[in-house]
Structure 1
Amino acid sequence: MDDTEGTSDATSTSATKGAPDTKGAPDTTGILDEALQRLHASGPERLGRLTNHAPMAVEALAARGQARAVHRWLDLYAPKLEEFPAPVEPVTDGNWRAALGDPRRAADWIAYFGRETEARPWRDVLAEWWPRLLPGLYGGAAHPAIRVGHAVRTLEEGEEGVAAGPRLAELAHGLGYWAARHHPLAGVAVLPGADSAARALDAVPPIANRKDGGFPTRLGRVEGLPAWAAAVTDPDEARRRLTELVRAATHRYATHGHGEATMLVHAATAPNAVLRALPALPRDLWAPSLRAAWAASAAITAMYAPDEAVAYVAPGAFAAEEVFERALAHGDEHVIKLTDTALDVGDGQALAAALRAVELSVPLA
């Protein structure tokens, strides 16, 4: 949820060399599965308001060829974990609407999706629930949807047979968390838009009182967002536009991340989670997914963007592998996840954004 934590500002003025996406082969060591099993004894949140990022971070590490670092990183993160919450009442096909958006029911929802993914193909479960959950993408600062995006990636890229077990359970945890924190964005006026994702993000008006309140309070102050890609109906065009949005939001972090180093990460990682889920979804859900991802990225921009951009060029030329190694050495979960997204984008400005996150964020200790 609201992950605002201490940050420090720094700028630099040299060049970064772009590099193609770096990606390890699908993890076949069993380390990711071990880590997920370890994490499924913990709840999706801590302190009643902060998200457990460990499942997303360890998936990113494994996906980027750093499975050997997973347990070491998890040992450092472990003090932030809390026990799995107690159940309240089983969620069923008959009563789910009453339980939607009730954070007290997280355990009930996770158990429900555990039963569903055991009984049916996981893509069928995802296709049924995606349109139900998509309007509530904004709950939990979009973390539940981001967790689902990581889970879908590991299921899509895993070897045949690997999906049975911890990775299916991880999808159930992500979907259950999303259902429990389901929170629609309502009453937002449509403002004049722009012809590109980058210019549309530039046109987002800031909310009032940006210095006050956590994520839910700030979200309630979002009054209007620019239109962008609203007329898109073709699935392939929706995917192209979503890719454009992820690139624009990632690039923007390099010059605007100082507005709130932690929360502005999600302006890029939330739409990227949606993008990662598209291959597992029916094509008729791609355009609605684009619209929800845009609203999420734009709303986060409205809530946390600084008054002014800063000029930023990364301190040196780094290959993608080196940038991810820097993120791992830093250890902050948001830095790891933004770098993971930056490697999806794969160009020099995206890598600069990842290095900017390293500079702005507090290392995991």
Structure 2
Amino acid sequence: MDDTTADATADTTGILDEALQRLHTSGPERLGRLTNHAPMAVEALAAHGQAGAVHRWLDLYAPRLEEFPAPVERVTDANWHVALGDPRRAADWIAYFRREIADRPWRDVLALWWPRLLPGLYGGAAHPVIRVGHAVRTLEEGGTTGPRLDELAHGLGYWAARHHPVTGLAVLPGARSAAGALDAVPPIANRKDGGFPTRLARVEGLPVWADSVDEPEEARRRLAELVRAATHRYATHGHGDETMLVHAATAPNAVLRALPALPRALWVPSLRAAWTASAAITAMYAPDEPVAYTPPGTFTAEEVFERALAHGDEHVIKLTDTALDVGDERALAAALRAVELSEPLG
């Protein structure tokens, strides 16, 4: 799509750009470990025709924002390896990507850095790649503006600062379907103890799935299957951790959203990284047993999104955003389940 063209469903009010500019004075995290979800949530609101609610929602979320961090040392093409994965360097990395995107087409920057960052997708509880996925969607569908390009720089910079590889996982027996493979994921030991990094270190092995895929189109199809399976699974398993299990669906969906902007040669490794992320989150937070879930009625996609907005929790909004991408009744049921399980914003 030409950069000057906007999708018919995209926000053309300028409100999203206003919100992003407002948010770019804030850091990507707060309290040194919790992600700033506001850029992702406001993009989802705008993408689903709720731009008019963006600033009102942002006012409620504002107490969770922290000031933009101070720079440490300039990241350059010569020293970036040293800065990779250093969360203290978030400001340095964001400044680096701002310069890169100002000098070159954003898709070229994304294509260069995606394979460098992909092995570290798991840092920051996969939030950096999710933020990048939202940024890519709005650039692809809504056209290029300064705040949207800046948002991509923030997302890539956050990813580089929180870059954290996962290696040495044992390959366990899996299943042919994504749903079956998620069912086969063994839980980690001591699931009730520790935050994301501590639990991630306890993931020792994951079931094999889609390992034979070597064609880009098949990788995209499998990614969509994984997003659908993880979203459906939330309805019956979300009570294991109503917040963290959202990312089993939203992380692979972020990768799926980025594919159209990436060279096809990167689609297969993107599928493999997305599977590892979704499966690892499942291992870390899945409940002992699933529970049956029946939605409290029949709702349209628009009605479900309105419920998510009224609830306000950023994870509910983001899961509902993904559920609408999946687009079936089971996905909408998962979004309604998130509304029931999660604490409302404010």
Q: Secondary structure at the match of 1:237?
A: helix
* TM-score between both structures, scaled by the size of structure 1: 0.93
Question: 1:187–1:223: 8 Å Cα contact kept in structure 2?
Answer: yes
Q: Quick one: which amino acid aligns to residue 62 of structure 1?
A: A
Paired residues, number:
340
State the match for 2:195 in structure 1.
214
Alpha-carbon RMSD across the aligned residues, in angstroms, is: 0.8
State the match for 1:244 in structure 2.
225
| Superposed CA offset, 1:309-359 (max 9, x none) | 000011100000000000000000000000000000000000000000000
CA distance in 1, matches of 2:283, 2:234: 14
Q: Determine whether 1:201 maps to 2:187.
A: no
Q: Secondary structure at the match of 1:200?
A: helix
| Superposed CA offset, 1:204-235 (max 9, x none) | 00000000000000000000000000110100
Tell me which of 340, 350, 353 is aligned to 2:321: 340
Q: Determine whether 1:232 maps to 2:213.
A: yes
The 5 A counterparts of 1:50-65 are: 50-65=34-49
Q: Determine whether 1:135 maps to 2:116.
A: no
CA distance in 1, matches of 2:81, 2:11: 37
CA distance in 2, matches of 1:313, 1:234: 38
Q: Secondary structure at the match of 1:190?
A: strand
Q: Secondary structure at the match of 1:225?
A: strand
CA distance in 1, matches of 2:8, 2:126: 27
| Superposed CA offset, 1:77-128 (max 9, x none) | 0000000000000000000000000000000000000000000000000000
Q: Secondary structure at the match of 2:308?
A: helix
The 5 A counterparts of 1:55-134 are: 55-134=39-118
State the match for 1:30 in structure 2.
14
Q: Quick one: which amino acid aligns to residue 93 of structure 1?
A: D
Report how far residue 164 of structure 1 moved: 3.1
Q: Determine whether 1:321 maps to 2:302.
A: yes
The 5 A counterparts of 1:118-197 are: 118-159=102-143, 163-197=144-178
Where does structure 1 lack aligned partners over 5 or more consecutive residues?
1-22
Question: 1:24–1:64: 8 Å Cα contact kept in structure 2?
Answer: no
Question: 1:24–1:65: 8 Å Cα contact kept in structure 2?
Answer: no
Question: 1:24–1:63: 8 Å Cα contact kept in structure 2?
Answer: no
Q: Secondary structure at the match of 2:75?
A: coil
Report how far residue 190 of structure 1 moved: 0.6
CA distance in 1, matches of 2:305, 2:201: 35
| Superposed CA offset, 1:250-292 (max 9, x none) | 0000000000000000000000000000000000000000000
| Superposed CA offset, 1:150-209 (max 9, x none) | 0000000013xxx13000000000000000000001111010110000000000000000
Higher mean Cα deviation, 182-191 or 35-44?
182-191
Q: Secondary structure at the match of 2:171?
A: strand
Q: Determine whether 1:305 maps to 2:289.
A: no
State the match for 2:3 in structure 1.
none
The 5 A counterparts of 1:247-262 are: 247-262=228-243
Q: Secondary structure at the match of 1:233?
A: coil
Q: Quick one: which amino acid aligns to residue 25 of structure 1?
A: T
Q: Determine whether 1:44 maps to 2:28.
A: yes
The 5 A counterparts of 1:282-297 are: 282-297=263-278
Q: Quick one: which amino acid aligns to residue 124 of structure 1?
A: D
Q: Secondary structure at the match of 1:349?
A: helix
CA distance in 2, matches of 1:294, 1:164: 32
Q: Quick one: which amino acid aligns to residue 72 of structure 2?
A: V
CA distance in 1, matches of 2:219, 2:314: 29
CA 1:312–1:24 in structure 2 vs 1: closer, same or farther (change >3 Å)? Answer: farther
Runs of 4+ with deviation above 4 angstroms? none
Q: Quick one: which amino acid aligns to residue 235 of structure 1?
A: P
CA distance in 2, matches of 1:193, 1:124: 36
CA distance in 2, matches of 1:108, 1:48: 16
* TM-score between both structures, scaled by the size of structure 2: 0.98
Q: Work out the percentage of aligned pairs sharing the same amino acid.
A: 86
Q: Secondary structure at the match of 1:276?
A: helix
Q: Quick one: which amino acid aligns to residue 192 of structure 2?
A: K
CA distance in 2, matches of 1:207, 1:106: 30
Greater length-normalized contact order (CA 8 Å, ≥ 6 residues apart)? 1
Report how far residue 24 of structure 1 moved: 7.5
Question: 1:145–1:274: 8 Å Cα contact kept in structure 2?
Answer: yes
